Amino acid sequence: MARHLITSALPYINGIKHLGNMVGSMLPADVYSRYLRQRGHEVLYICATDEHGTPAELAAKERGVPVDTFCAQAHDAQKAVYDGFELAFDHFGRSSSEQNRGITQHFARRLNENGFIEERAIRQVYSPTDGRFLPDRYVEGTCPHCGYDKARGDQCENCTRVLDPTDLINPRSAISGSTDLEVRETKHLFLLQSKLQHEVEAWVSLHEEEWPQLASSIARKWLTEGLHDRAITRDLDWGVPVPADTWPELAAEGKVFYVWFDAPIEYIGATKEWADAAPAGEVRDWKSWWYEADDTVRYTEFMAKDNVPFHTVMFPATELGVREPWKKVDYVKAFNWLTYYGGKFSTSQKRGVFTDHALDILPADYWRYFLIANAPESDDSSFTWEHFTTTVNKDLADTLGNFVNRVLSFSRKRFGDEVPAGAAAGGTEAKLGEEIAGLLAEYETQMEALQFRKAAAALRALWSAGNSYLEEKAPWLEIKTDPDGAALTLRTAMNLIHLYSVVSEPFIPASAKAMRSAFALADDTAVWVSADEAKSLDAVPAGTAFTVPPVLFAKITDEDLESYKERFGGVPE
């Protein structure tokens, strides 16, 4: 079996994320990780909070707490939400860790030794009042294009134009508000990506045919436009410091590495965090996943399209320039954006669903299933409450939940609290078994191909097959003339419930557990269902005690729908 290294784009530390962030990286990575574990593969799923950069410092300042305190609290808050969504990370780390600091500084030293880092003088805004150079986002002012008076020095949030701090009208320091600003010369480190262009092109060419078109086209676009040398240091108080043994002058000035230099390295750093956190007596070899990893390690990254250039071009350039055998990504699963009624999710305008609020109103499985079944794989997709309600009510409540409830409730009412024996399986059951085996094969094919919407459709078809069988056999009528036949029908349907509990686990883990625990199977160690098992449908034998679980999925009412739209905002104007 292959060893699968899986990472999802690091969520930025500043604020709880919305549903688009969830479906664009962490959730599909979790679904895929769960599936691979069930199929017997060794899996290491790594993620972390991305904690450096200007926004973290500014957010901490607004709250009146030290930035390290803010990041620690925000990390815990995000982790609580991800636990609520049942994201089964092997480790959820922090880019501010000592492990990431050490590996980032190592990468910088090696790049420098190999001639891929250069110290250059640039002109930058300086605030005498604050006694420091100001990164782009530390400069605010009026946008010259739209007149918005809170534009940042890198981009206007109102009109989205990219800016330079010197473009702003009446610029001021975001720290002190001082308008006493100067432009002075200072030195920064530049990663000479231009010298690595051909190596990155050669590396991308080995993979782009396998990658989804979205990922390969973005990588090719950046390479066609040419890689430019990029400043990889900033004037901030919070970040991985430039090592004094290599750049003493810059270290003395307090320079730190740019967040987009150290953040991808945190995938490695977090893996070392995982190894260092091993329980007593357990040894975890983090380097076997990253350094001189053998051919059995397959590395898959999950991310939204705005992160693709950094992971398909910039970080590979860094790894290539280090001239050490660090593992590079094999497959990039890129997603388009999930919108809210066609517009942006917005905290300030109270529009859209954020992950903590989602869990406040409905269990995680409702969201997990809907998001994966409608993942923005080929195009941007739009979240609407109407679509969400229809999907939950039709697929989860009616197709799966109702099947489970009526089968178990009817069987208990007519045959008691044990799986009934009844007649031997006949032609209808054999036909059903063949259908289930075929649908399961389709489900496996789509999961292996990381085609999540198609996988969800195959899973939905598996659920529907049970309903079709039940309607064909109609045990509520059958029991009047053929009790043994009705018992066979219910026994077969119960075996379908058990099968659903196993194969649905990647999508809806809590509901899968509830279905599985309905049966008192002492030696139920099945991790997956083989084609032969799917055909025979006999994993739950007659005489097995069972219970009827609470309703798996409550329907969303029209009143619920209207209240959600009112609370979270309707159609953007």
Residues 53 and 137 in one domain: no
Residue 225 belongs to a domain: no
List the single range of 156-165, 195-204, 390-399, 451-460 with lowest mean pLDDT. 156-165
How far does CA 229 lie from the centroid of its chain? 30
Query: What pLDDT does residue 570 have?
Result: 62
Q: What is the pLDDT of residues 332-341, one digit of tens each?
A: 999 999 999 9
Residue 137 belongs to a domain: yes
Mean per-residue pLDDT for 534-539? 94
Residue 213 has a CB neighbour count (10 Å cut-off) of 10
pLDDT band, very low/low/confident/very high, at 505 (cuts 50, 70, 90): very high
Q: What is the DSSP string of 442-469?
A: HHHHHHHTT-HHHHHHHHHHHHHHHHHH
> Which segments of 374-415 does DSSP mark as H helices, in order?
385-391, 402-415
Q: Is the pLDDT of residue 572 over 60?
A: no
Per the annotation, does 156 bind a ligand? yes
The residue whose two tokens read 């900033």 is 234
Mean per-residue pLDDT for 153-173? 87
Residues 527 and 387 in one domain: yes
Per the annotation, does 47 bind a ligand? no
Residues 454 and 319 in one domain: no
pLDDT band, very low/low/confident/very high, at 493 (cuts 50, 70, 90): very high
What span, in angstroms and rounded, lies between the C-alpha atoms of 374 and 478? 38
Burial class of residue 359 (count of CB atoms within 10 Å of its CB; 0-12, 13-18, 19+)? middle
Residues 297 and 177 in one domain: no
Residues 419 and 451 in one domain: yes
Residues 405 and 511 in one domain: yes
Q: Is the pLDDT of residue 36 over 60?
A: yes
Residue 458 belongs to a domain: yes
We report the CATH number of the domain holding residue 435 as: 1.10.730.10
Burial class of residue 487 (count of CB atoms within 10 Å of its CB; 0-12, 13-18, 19+)? buried
pLDDT band, very low/low/confident/very high, at 135 (cuts 50, 70, 90): confident
What span, in angstroms and rounded, lies between the C-alpha atoms of 37 and 18? 27
> Which segments of 149-280 does DSSP mark as H helices, in order?
197-205, 213-225, 248-252, 259-276
Of 133, 159, 191, the one marking the end of a domain is 191
Backbone dihedral angles phi then psi of residue 298, each to the nearest 5 degrees: -115, 120
User: What domain range includes position 485?
Assistant: 382-536
Residue 136 belongs to a domain: yes
CA atoms within 13 A on the CB side of 218: 21
What span, in angstroms and rounded, lies between the C-alpha atoms of 163 and 169? 11
Residues 32 and 123 in one domain: no
Which residues are CB-neighbours of 142 under 8 A, at least 6 positions away? 148, 149, 151, 168, 169, 170
Residue 129 belongs to a domain: yes
We report the CATH number of the domain holding residue 48 as: 3.40.50.620
pTM for this model (two decimals): 0.94
Residue 250 belongs to a domain: no
Between residues 487 and 137, the one the model is more confident about: 487
**Number of domains observed in the structure of the chain:** 3
Residues 185 and 295 in one domain: no
Residues 108 and 125 in one domain: no
Residues 93 and 134 in one domain: no
Residue 397 belongs to a domain: yes
Q: β-pairing, 139-142 with 169-173?
A: antiparallel
Residues 390 and 311 in one domain: no
Helices (H) then strands (E): counts for the chain: 23, 16
What span, in angstroms and rounded, lies between the C-alpha atoms of 287 and 6? 15
Per the annotation, does 146 bind a ligand? yes
Over its C-alpha atoms, the chain yields an Rg (Å, rounded) of 27
What span, in angstroms and rounded, lies between the C-alpha atoms of 456 and 6? 20
Whether the CB-CB separation of 541 and 492 falls below 8 Å is answered with no
Specify the DSSP element, H or E, that contains 365: helix 364-373
Q: What is the pLDDT of residues 413-446, one digit of tens each?
A: 999 999 999 999 999 999 999 999 999 999 999 9
Residues 84 and 122 in one domain: no
Residue 351 belongs to a domain: no
What span, in angstroms and rounded, lies between the C-alpha atoms of 167 and 307? 26
